[in-house]
Structure 1
Amino acid sequence: MTDTDAFAERKIRASDWFRALRDEIVAAFEGLEQSHDTGPFSDDAPGAFEVTPTSRTAEDGSDAGGGLMSVMRGGRVFEKVGVNVSTVYGTLGEAAQKSMAARGVPGIESDPRFWASGISLVAHMRNPHVPAVHMNTRMFWTPNAWWFGGGSDLNPCIEYDEDTAHFHATQKAHLDPHGPALYPELKAWADEYFYIPHRKRARGVGGIFMDDRNTGDWDADFALTQDIGRAFLPAYLPLVEKRRVMPCDAADRETQLVHRGLYAEYNLVYDRGTKFGLATGHDANAVLMSLPPLAKWI
C-alpha cells in the first residue's frame, strides 16, 4: 500500500531527475552537431533542438500534466532526434485499467488514479554507419502500487560487432553494482521485448530493459533507474563520434531506410509506451516522436 503524502517527495525527486537527464542529453547532442566539422554532412548547418511544451487533458477537460518535447531535425549528425520528458496524472480510462489489472497492478479498477513521469529518447542519424538508438526511464504510481521501468537499445542498420560490444559493456558496468545477476536478466528481457514477431527478428542488437520494477525498496529501485540513465551517454556517444566521419553512399542509405521500416513497425504495433501514451490522451506528436522521418518498405 502506498501513501499519497509519503510519495509526494519521491515523485518530485523522480521528475526532477528525468528533467536533469534530459538537459544533459540535449546539451551533449547539440555539442555533437557543433563539433562535426569533417566527413559527410559536415558542411551543413548544425542542428538545434526545437522545444515545445506538451500537455495532457483529462476527459473532463481539466489539466492533467505535460512536459517538454525537444526535437532536432536535419542536422549534421542527427536526421531526427527527440528527447521528451513528461509528468502526467489523473484517472486511467477503462481500457487502461483493464490492461493494468491484467498485468497484476493491485486495486487499479477500484481506484484508477495514477501519476507517471519519465524521459523518452529516439535518435535517427544522418550517416547510415551511425546506429539509431532508443532510451527511456520512467516511474509510475497509483494509490496501491508503484514501479520503475525503462532501458536502452541500439538499432544499427549497418552492424559493427565492436560497437555492440561497447554498448553492452557500458551498460553492464553501470548495472553490476546493483548485483551481478541484473545485467543478464535485463539483457534477456530486452532481447525478448524488442523482438518483431511478424518479421521473426530483433529490432536491433539489443540492450537492457525492465518494467514493473518494485523490489519494495524505492530508493534502491530509483538508484538503479538513475544508473540506467547514466549509462546512456557513455554507451552511445563514442559510437557516434567514431562512425559519423565514415563515407556513405546511396546503397548505405537504402539499407538505412529499409531498416527504419522495422523500427516503425515495432513502435506502431508492439511498443507498450506508444499504446499507453495514445490511450491516456497525451500529446500525439510527442508520443509518435519515435517514428523516423523517412522509411522504406520492399
Structure 2
Amino acid sequence: MTDSFDARKARASAWFRELRDQIVTAFEGLEDSPLQGPTADLPAGRFEVTTTTRAGDDGADAGGGLMSVMRGGRVFEKVGVNVSTVHGTLGEQAQASMAARGVPGIEADPRFWASGISLVAHMQNPHTPAVHMNTRMFWTPNAWWFGGGADLNPCIEYGEDTAAFHKVLEGACAAHDPDYYPRFKAWADEYFFVPHRGRARGVGGIFFDDLNTGDWDADFAFTRDVGRAFLPAFLPVTRARLNTGWCEADKDAQLIHRGLYAEYNLVYDRGTKFGLATGHDANAVLMSLPPLAKWV
C-alpha cells in the first residue's frame, strides 16, 4: 500500500493547500468590504503566515505546514487557516485509540501519514457567526480514510442563517450519496455536543470521519466538495450580518459563547488531542482558541 498511495497522498496534500489559498484570498477580500460600526475604521486585516514543523521521536524532520492567522481585522477578530502534512510513528496512547476505532494493524505497525486543512474564525460583530471547517486524509500501512466537516457557531442565532448554511452542505453531500447529509448532520450534532454543559456548541453542520468506502477517488472527490462548499455556505451568512449594529450586551453574549467554544476544543476535540499527542506545533494546534472569552 505504501508505494501505491504515494501519488494519492501528494494529490490530497496539494488539494488542502489549494483550498487554503482560496479561503485566505476570500477572507482578505471580505476584510475590504464596505463596513459600518465600531471596527469600520480599522485597517483591513491580512494573514500572517508562519511555517510550522514537526520533529519525529528521533529528532528528524516529520513534516509540517503553514499557519495563517489574522488578528484584529475589521470583520475577523481572529481567524486561522492551517494546512499541514505530517508523518511519523504513533505513540502508545494514539495507537490504542485508533485500535479501539477499528483501525487494522495499527499496534503492529504504528507508522502514519496525515494531511489536512483546519479553519476557525472568530468574528468582530457578535451577529456574524463563528465558524469551523476542516478536511483531512489519514494513512497507515494497513488503512486509509478521510474526515472533516463544517459547523456554524453563532452567539446570536438566526434561523435563516442556520438554514442557509445547512442547505449548501446538504447539496454537497447529496451530489455523492443521499444518505450522507442526514448521517453526517446527526454525527455533527452528537460530536459537537458539550456534555458538561448539556448543550451543543453551535447550530451544527456536518461531521464525518473514518470515511473509506473502498473507492479512494470517490471519497477524495466528496472530501473536496465539502471543502469547496465552505465559502458558499459561510460568506453569504457573514455578509448578511456585517453591518448589523451591536451593543455591549451582544458583545458580552459573544464572549460567553466563546468560553463554551474554548471548553469544547480543549476538553473534547479529537483534532486538538491528536495534534498535541503527536508533537505538532502547539500554537498551530491551539489556533482555534478565541482571542478573548468570558466565563460567568
TM over 0.5: yes
Aligned residues: 296
- Post-superposition shift, 1:284? 0.1
Tell me the secondary structure at the aligned position of residue 175 of structure 2: helix
1:51–1:70 Cα contact (<8 Å) kept: yes
Tell me the secondary structure at the aligned position of residue 8 of structure 1: helix
Tell me the secondary structure at the aligned position of residue 148 of structure 1: strand
Tell me the secondary structure at the aligned position of residue 46 of structure 2: coil
Tell me the secondary structure at the aligned position of residue 35 of structure 1: coil
Match of 1:293 among 278, 291, 294: 291
1:195–1:202 Cα contact (<8 Å) kept: yes
Partner residue in 2 for 1:278? 276
Distance 1:193 1:38 in 2: 36
Distance 2:162 2:237 in 1: 9
Partner residue in 1 for 2:20? 22
Asked if residue 202 in structure 1 is aligned to residue 195 in structure 2, the reply is no
Partner residue in 1 for 2:265? 267
Asked if residue 258 in structure 1 is aligned to residue 256 in structure 2, the reply is yes
Partner residue in 1 for 2:105? 107
Distance 1:132 1:266 in 2: 14
Q: Deviations over 1:119-162 (max 9, x none)?
A: 00000000000000000000000000000000000000000000
Task: Give the AA of the match of 2:166.
Answer: H
Q: Deviations over 1:75-121 (max 9, x none)?
A: 00000000000000011111111111111110011111100000000
Partner residue in 2 for 1:228? 226
Distance 1:270 1:37 in 2: 36
% identity of equivalent residues: 75
Partner residue in 2 for 1:219? 217
Asked if residue 131 in structure 1 is aligned to residue 114 in structure 2, the reply is no
1:36–1:77 Cα contact (<8 Å) kept: no
Task: Give the AA of the match of 1:136.
Answer: N
Distance 1:146 1:168 in 2: 28
Partner residue in 2 for 1:38? 36
Distance 1:234 1:31 in 2: 14
1:40–1:244 Cα contact (<8 Å) kept: no
Q: Which shows bigger deviation, 155-164 or 169-178?
A: 169-178
Partner residue in 2 for 1:245? 243
Asked if residue 175 in structure 1 is aligned to residue 156 in structure 2, the reply is no
2:35–2:243 Cα contact (<8 Å) kept: no
Distance 1:35 1:177 in 2: 32
Task: Give the AA of the match of 1:126.
Answer: Q
Distance 1:24 1:9 in 2: 23
Q: Which shows bigger deviation, 174-183 or 255-264?
A: 174-183
1:40–1:248 Cα contact (<8 Å) kept: no
Asked if residue 94 in structure 1 is aligned to residue 92 in structure 2, the reply is yes
Task: Give the AA of the match of 2:217.
Answer: D
Structure 2 runs not aligned, ≥5 long: none
1:40–1:245 Cα contact (<8 Å) kept: no
Structure 1 runs not aligned, ≥5 long: none
Partner residue in 1 for 2:191? 193
Task: Give the AA of the match of 2:268.
Answer: Y
- Post-superposition shift, 1:67? 0.1
What TM-score, normalized by structure 1, do the two folds share? Answer: 0.98
Task: Give the AA of the match of 2:98.
Answer: M
- Post-superposition shift, 1:199? 0.4
- Post-superposition shift, 1:37? 3.5
2:35–2:242 Cα contact (<8 Å) kept: no
CA RMSD of aligned residues (A): 0.7
Tell me the secondary structure at the aligned position of residue 245 of structure 2: coil
Task: Give the AA of the match of 1:26.
Answer: V
Distance 1:38 1:26 in 2: 23
Q: Which shows bigger deviation, 27-36 or 269-278?
A: 27-36
Partner residue in 2 for 1:155? 153
Tell me the secondary structure at the aligned position of residue 118 of structure 1: strand
1:46–1:76 Cα contact (<8 Å) kept: yes
What TM-score, normalized by structure 2, do the two folds share? Answer: 0.99
Distance 2:162 2:36 in 1: 24
- Post-superposition shift, 1:39? 3.7
Q: Which shows bigger deviation, 241-250 or 32-41?
A: 32-41
Q: Deviations over 1:229-280 (max 9, x none)?
A: 0110000001111101111111000000000000000000000000000000
Tell me the secondary structure at the aligned position of residue 136 of structure 2: strand
Distance 1:186 1:112 in 2: 28
